[in-house]
Amino acid sequence: MYPTVSRLFEDAVQSYKDRIALRMPVPKERRSARGTQFVLNEVSYGRLAEMVGRLATALKDLGVGRGDRVALAAKPRTAWATSFFAILRCGATVVPLDPELQKNEIERILIEAQVKGVIASGSKMDDLVAIRDAGSLGSAFLVSMDRSKDENVLFLDALLLGKNPLPLIDVAPSDLAILMYTSGTTGNAKGAMLTHANISSNTLAAQKVVELRPEDRFLSIVPWNHIYGLTMTLICPLVTGATTTYTPVDRNLTEVMRSAKPTILLGVPKLFNVLHGRITESIEKSAIKHVIYHLSPTLMGRLVRNKLFGKQFRFFASGGAPLSPVSAAGLRHLGLGILEGYGLTETSPLLTMCEAFNDQPGMKTIEDVEIRIEGPDDTGVGEVMARGPGVMAGYYKNPEATAEVLEPDGWFHTGDLGSYRNGRLVLCGRAKNVIVLETGKNVYPEEIEWELVTIPSIEEVMVYQGDRQGVPTVCAEIYPNWTFLKAHGVKDGDKDAALEMIWEAVKEKCENLAMFKRIKYKESLTLVDEPFQKSVKLDIKRYLYKPAT
């Protein structure tokens, strides 16, 4: 029997009361010639637990009890973590919301989830007050993490005053801990019901695979309203006794990395693709670095590690979307280990993970997870099916959608394509994205994107099935890296010159692919004027663009 998330946190507090739990970069008021400076605000396990207990008492006084749902809408901050564990401490369910959602999207989720209340940052209060005033929230309360001019909005800090910590409310591992909404292919969000056992089983398995220890210092750029960010970068370190630093991807990222002195950096593939690209570019521009790299790649890697992170750094961890094999191999060649995990919101999320210095294709399953391939073709590729303690209880108030993905015997349809041999899962892409050529060959857009995204002149790319003289063909929409292009002689906005340079690079990269997977015509490339709209995982929302046919 797996413990509850609240019990895991409580046990960690008892063991690591005086250790630092969270470090959050906060800008200083003064600016210097080097840009906005910041300080790392530190919160100990003991202090965090005290605030959690006091807020839980306040929430109980507001009528929150076992089985109720409370929404949480803000970017990561200490108040977010406090609210999360306080809601769970009451026996209630957390509904994490992406703070970037529009008012109508938030309103629909809050109505469907029948929330008892909402805790949010001040930046979301205008939308929430409008939703409340429209009568959509009923008697639900609003709590702001920042002061509000609305007298009917409660201030979180004020709620903590004069409160005694609430004793842990007894809940069952099978009770709902998180109602996590996932957008899917049409943008119509579905609420994945994740129990305490779902989350705690995933947390404990991840700790074993990664061999986490209390001395570890996590640095994460992944928001906590996404299941990867929540489970792997907030809950997992905080029940291990480790320290978590969260920072957005901004101009202070490098400075935060140096100050936080992380042992583990957790991010999404785009971060590591950019990092690998910049390291490669730096080596190519410097004759000395070029010589060092060719004589000893690992020495070059140590120099990079020590400059950016410090000697204590252990490895990178990537999740949320497939990692480019080119970037992964390039970082490992430098002696910089990178773990890659695979999973979904509906699986809490982790299903498989590869070793930091993996020299074999694919990933191994984590503890108690089973994988099988449904309907494999002659190459062994089919839909990835998963079963284990992390698989959700179902979609909230949506039995039809639940029945589509969850078999009665517990097997979950991931919608991903892959092969499974010798205990290792090799992913190919999403089933809905596959390109079917007239020869019957299947082309997985993700495989091509992994190659093309390493081209310096390309900022973003989306591969899709197009049409050439009535025949299915591999095409791509590309958002150019104008900074790189201008530095290499292309005038700003000159699409013809940009396309020519990009096409030459695409042809070269496509030589790494099988003939049938290649983009064969310059006309199959389209340059777009704006970055693609993306999900919280930084996945392109393909359904808004060229659909696979």
Best CA proximity match to 355, nearest among 329, 373, 372, 337? 337
pLDDT at 31: 47
DSSP codes of every residue in 80-108:
HHHHHHHHHHTT-EEEEE-TTS-HHHHHH
Q: In this prediction, what percent of the chain has a pLDDT beyond 70?
A: 96
Q: Which pLDDT value is given to residue 185?
A: 37
User: Who wins on pLDDT, 59 or 537?
Assistant: 59
| Residue scoring higher pLDDT (415 or 440) | 415
Beta bridge partners of 265: 219, 316
pLDDT computed for residue 68 by the predictor: 98
With contact defined as beta carbons under 8 Å apart, do 53 and 166 qualify? yes
Residue 383 and residue 416 in contact, taking contact as beta carbons nearer than 8 Å: yes
pLDDT at site 35: 55
Tens of pLDDT, residue by residue over 440-467, are 788 889 889 988 988 999 999 999 999 8
pLDDT score, position 104: 87
Q: Residue 335: how many CB atoms within 10 A of its CB?
A: 16
Q: What is the pLDDT of residues 132-187, one digit of tens each?
A: 999 999 999 999 999 998 999 999 999 999 999 999 999 999 999 999 998 543 44
Q: Average per-residue pLDDT in the chain?
A: 92
pLDDT at 549 over 50: no
User: Given this model, what pLDDT does residue 461 score?
Assistant: 95
Residues 220-244, mean pLDDT to the nearest whole number:
94
Average pLDDT value for residue range 245-260 = 85
- Helix pair angle (5-15, 78-89), 10° resolution: 120
pLDDT of residue 543: 76
Residue 526, judged by CB atoms within 10 A of its CB (0-12, 13-18, 19+), counts as middle
Q: What is the pLDDT of residue 343?
A: 94
For the range 406-409, what are the long-range contacts, defined as Cβ-Cβ under 8 Å and sequence gap of 24 or more? none
Domain architecture of the chain: domains with CATH: 5-30+41-213+226-242 (3.40.50.12780), 268-431 (3.40.50.12780), 434-544 (3.30.300.30)
The fraction of the chain above a pLDDT of 90, given in percent, is 75
When mean pLDDT is compared over 211-220, 254-263, 316-325, the highest value belongs to 211-220
Of the listed ranges 63-67, 91-95, 284-288, the one predicted with least confidence:
284-288
pLDDT at residue 53 in the model: 98
Cβ contacts of 469 within 8 Å, gap of 6 or more: none
pLDDT at position 285 over 70: yes
pTM (predicted TM-score):
0.85
Output the pLDDT for position 408. 96
Give the pLDDT confidence score for residue 183 in this predicted structure. Answer: 59
Task: State yes or no: cis peptide before 349, omega within 30 of 0.
Answer: yes
Q: Comparing 283 with 321, which gets the higher pLDDT?
A: 283
- Give 45's pLDDT tier (boundaries 50, 70, 90): very high
Could you write out the three-class secondary structure of 52-64?
Answer: HHHHHHHHHHCCC
Confidence band for 27, pLDDT divided at 50, 70 and 90: confident
Confidence of residue 1 (pLDDT cuts 50, 70, 90): confident
Residue in the block written with tokens 């010159």: 497
Distance CA 546, CA 549 (A): 9
Quick one: pLDDT at residue 93?
A: 98
The answer to whether 344 touches 190, Cβ cutoff 8 Å, is no
Q: Which residues contact 415 (CB under 8 A, 6 or more apart)?
A: 383, 405, 430, 431, 432
- Cα dihedral value 244, 246, 252, 257, nearest 10: 30
What one-letter code names the amino acid at 159? Answer: L
pLDDT at 512 over 70: yes
DSSP-based three-state secondary structure for 231: helix
- CB-count burial class (<10 Å; 0-12, 13-18, 19+) for 494: middle
Give the Cα separation of 306 and 259 in Å (integer).
12
